Amino acid sequence: MNPANYLILAALLFTIGTVGVLVRRNAIVVFMSIELMLNAVNLTLVTFSRIQGTLDGQIMAFFVMVVAAAEVVIGLAIILSIFRTRRSASVDDVNLLKY
Amino acid sequence: MTTGTVLLSAAGPITSTSTGEAVTFWILAPVAVLAALGMILVRSAVHSALLLVANLFCVAVFYLLQQAPFLGFVQIIVYAGAIMVLFLFVLMLVGVDSSDSLVETIRGQRLGAIIFGLGFAGLLVFPIGSAIDGGRAVGLDKANAGGNVQAIGRLLFSDYVFVFEAISALLVVAAIGTMVLGHREREGGRISQREWMRRRFTEGGQVTPLPGPGVFARHDSADTLGLLPGGGHASGIGGVPATGPDGPTGDGPAAGGGSEPDDPRPAAGPEDTAASSGPDGPQGPAGQDRPDGGSGGGDGGTPVSPAPRSGGDIGGDDAHGGDRAGADDGSALAGAGKGEER
């Protein structure tokens, strides 16, 4: 097997994540799709790290993981505070960004 | 010549993967893709979360296969452990019933998104597929010679030390930001438990949470309520009808004090309204022409069908079972209409 087949898999996962962000209305599922996209990018970074023979790609993937964790924490706090006022977790309900 | 070809040819041909890695890849790659597809296709957000966990585990195995054991275990611990637990916590706080609406705010957006996705996949996959033809990887045997964790730590605290500092600052900012976002000023004094109880009983409605699916009202009590002939739940002890024929959907959020988990889908989609208009009379038309009842629906007593929760198979079966028994007793059930939409 060609080791770069992981790149194709990562591309597919990234595309699925993109479609999920565009299609779904539940804000939490949208967040999960973003996580899927970040994971696909991480898989790409790890694969390039192996192809190149250096560990820099793995370091970058590690940083992406940390950023993703911070992003999830902030995003879920935002979803919860929206849910408190609007009683809804749908992204369509907050299209006014007000009230 | 694409950039991918340049990258791969610069690497130089050294290794190909072992057979075991190829077998693992070809087994787990379809699982990962199917889990990702299922994540965006299933309706329940909890199922989405579980499918995402499956996908994350697959990706963790891919990290392990690619000589990145540190990242693989961090993926399992941090992602599949901590972050997914956080997701599920928020899901349970928001309420499992929060479902997608089928109303399109932008006309044709879903179809456009799918077409965009297909085109995007084609643009990504085919150039990569042609670029990696015959490419080989250097492999990390040399870089991992002293151990993967040691090598990563050495890089992290030498070349990337400033990035590391910036990331730690980012984490602190994220933690503080979460506290700021989650903080809520309390208006008035603290509500005592006595006040909560008084408010709960003076507002009327269902006092206890609704019983789970499969619980039958063998006697008339506050926690397992018998159903009225119209299908609604009787309110409180004594069977005073408080809810209309729509069952507890009518005053669900107002009565129970907010986020009761059995609240059946507060956001009514188009199919929801169609389904909830089913049990109008004592025996709705949907109730009579459904011969396949659930399991054990009619053993004595008035069967409560609390199945208006959109919980899935169990809730749906229970609604049907209670429906048949209710038709025998001459009292149709509210759950039939809601179980219809599943």
Tell me which residue in A46, A50, A80 faces B182 most closely, judged by beta carbons.
A80
| pLDDT for res B92 | 85
Q: Do A51 and B171 touch (CB under 8 A)?
A: no
- CATH of A5-90, picked from 1.10.287.3510, 1.20.1250.20, 3.40.190.180, 3.40.50.10860, is 1.10.287.3510
| pLDDT for res A42 | 95
Q: Are A81 and B177 in contact (CB under 8 A)?
A: no
| pLDDT for res B258 | 39
Chain B residue at shortest CA distance from A2: B16
pLDDT digits (tens, 9 = 90+) for A46-82: 999 998 889 999 999 999 999 999 999 999 998 888 8
| pLDDT for res B93 | 83
| pLDDT for res B247 | 41
| pLDDT for res B58 | 95
Give residue limits of the domains in chain A: 5-90
| pLDDT for res A43 | 95
Q: Are A1 and B16 in contact (CB under 8 A)?
A: yes
- Which has the higher per-residue pLDDT, A6 or B286? A6
- Residue B15 in contact with partner chain A when CB distance is under 8 A: yes
| pLDDT for res B302 | 44
Q: Do B110 and A80 touch (CB under 8 A)?
A: no
Architecture of domain B3-144: Up-down Bundle (1.20)
Supply the ipTM of this predicted assembly: 0.93
Chain B residue at shortest CA distance from A30: B40
Q: Are A33 and B40 in contact (CB under 8 A)?
A: yes
- Residue B169 in contact with partner chain A when CB distance is under 8 A: no
Q: What is the full per-residue pLDDT of chain B (342 aa) written as tens digits? A: 444 444 444 444 445 678 888 899 999 999 999 999 999 998 888 899 999 999 999 999 999 999 899 999 999 999 888 999 999 998 888 876 655 666 777 788 889 999 999 999 999 888 888 887 766 778 888 888 888 999 999 999 999 999 999 999 999 999 999 999 888 877 777 888 888 888 878 877 666 666 655 566 777 676 666 666 666 665 544 444 444 444 444 343 333 333 344 444 444 444 444 444 434 444 434 434 444 433 433 344 444 444 444 433 443 344 444 444 444 443 434 444 333 333
Q: Do B171 and A56 touch (CB under 8 A)?
A: no
A29 has a pLDDT exceeding 70: yes
**How many CB pairs below 8 Å do chains A and B form together?**
257
Q: Do B22 and A1 touch (CB under 8 A)?
A: yes
Q: Do B117 and A22 touch (CB under 8 A)?
A: yes
Banded model confidence at residue A5, pLDDT cuts 50, 70, 90 = confident
SS3 for chain A is CCCCHHHHHHHHHHHHHHHHHHHCCEHHHHHHHHHHHHHHHHHHHHHHHHHHCCCHHHHHHHHHHHHHHHHHHHHHHHHHHHHHHHCCCEHHHHCCCCC
